[in-house]
Amino acid sequence: MKIQSTFSDSWFNMGLIDGEQRKEVEAVENKIQSLIQEKKFVEAHEELFKLIVVPNTLYSKFTGHMGQQLNYMIGTVPPVLTNFAKFIDEKEVHNYLHVGLHKFEIFNFKTHDRFRTENMASDGKAIGELLDNYKVLIYSSQMDPIAVHPRVTKTVEAFEWSGAAELKKTPRKIWKVGDDVAGYVKSVGKFHYVMLRKTGRYPAMDQPAWAFEMVQNFINDKPF
């Protein structure tokens, strides 16, 4: 979890924070890392939430982005996200999806809290087993301020599996959808790592055609 819980360098390089603000973020990151090393995962999770999730976070305080951390180019919750939640919660859609009367929530804090310990613990070996035995697609988004592309890349490169060394040496390919550069791809065996351009946390919202093409290529074993 060490790589995934560091934000200061990425936010600084994005222009979201200045040098002094960077120091404040680093102090919180160091506290999170210490708690993880002490295996105090619940406490580490609470500190992480103060940094990026709950109201009045350092992220919102320094950036002015209120209510969302999905795309650093957008300061407020996009209307399309709210409209999607309303659409999914319509009775007719519930019937089509066979989900009964359960209310749809984009982020369910009760469910998330049940995984607080797992969220802060690393298990790269388990992912390595998946990469060695199954077809896997991992993507990162260019404009996600939380799951930042350079940190996702470091995490992917740290996975322990048979293709790890080859993945680092494999040239990254330009992936186009029509005439547009949709992203960049590294593929080793059945594993594909894609960076989607001009997208935040939800590529299907920011670049739906590219997100659809990515999934279709993966499912149907088409080259990127």
Q: What pTM was computed for the model?
A: 0.88
Strand 191-196 relative to strand 180-188, pairing: antiparallel
Q: What single-letter DSSP state applies at residue 141?
A: E
Range list of β-strands (E), 115-218? 136-141, 173-177, 180-188, 191-196
Digitized pLDDT (tens) for each residue of the chain, 224 residues in all: 455 568 999 999 999 999 999 999 999 999 999 999 999 999 999 999 889 886 678 998 999 887 678 899 888 878 888 899 899 999 999 999 999 888 888 888 888 888 888 888 877 778 999 999 999 999 999 999 999 999 999 999 999 999 999 999 999 999 999 999 999 999 999 999 999 999 999 999 999 999 999 999 999 999 99
- State residue 140's pLDDT score: 97
- State residue 3's pLDDT score: 52
- State residue 107's pLDDT score: 80
- CATH fold for the domain made of 124-219: Rossmann fold (3.40.50)
Which of 125, 126, 139 lies closest to 191, judged by CA?
A: 139
Residue 120 and residue 123: Cα distance in Å, rounded? 10
Residues of the chain with CATH 3.40.50.11320: 124-219
Count the neighbouring beta carbons within 10 Å of the beta carbon of residue 186: 22
Strand 191-196 relative to strand 136-141, pairing: parallel
Q: Could you tell me which residues come within 8 angstroms of residue 63 by beta carbon, excluding any fewer than 6 positions away?
A: 11, 16, 17, 72, 75, 145
- State residue 115's pLDDT score: 85
- State residue 147's pLDDT score: 92
Residue 147 and residue 138: Cα distance in Å, rounded? 12
Residue 124 and residue 122: Cα distance in Å, rounded? 6
Amino acid identity of 175?
W
Which of 144, 135, 146 lies closest to 193, judged by CA?
A: 135
- Residue 92: enclosing H or E segment and its boundaries? helix 91-97
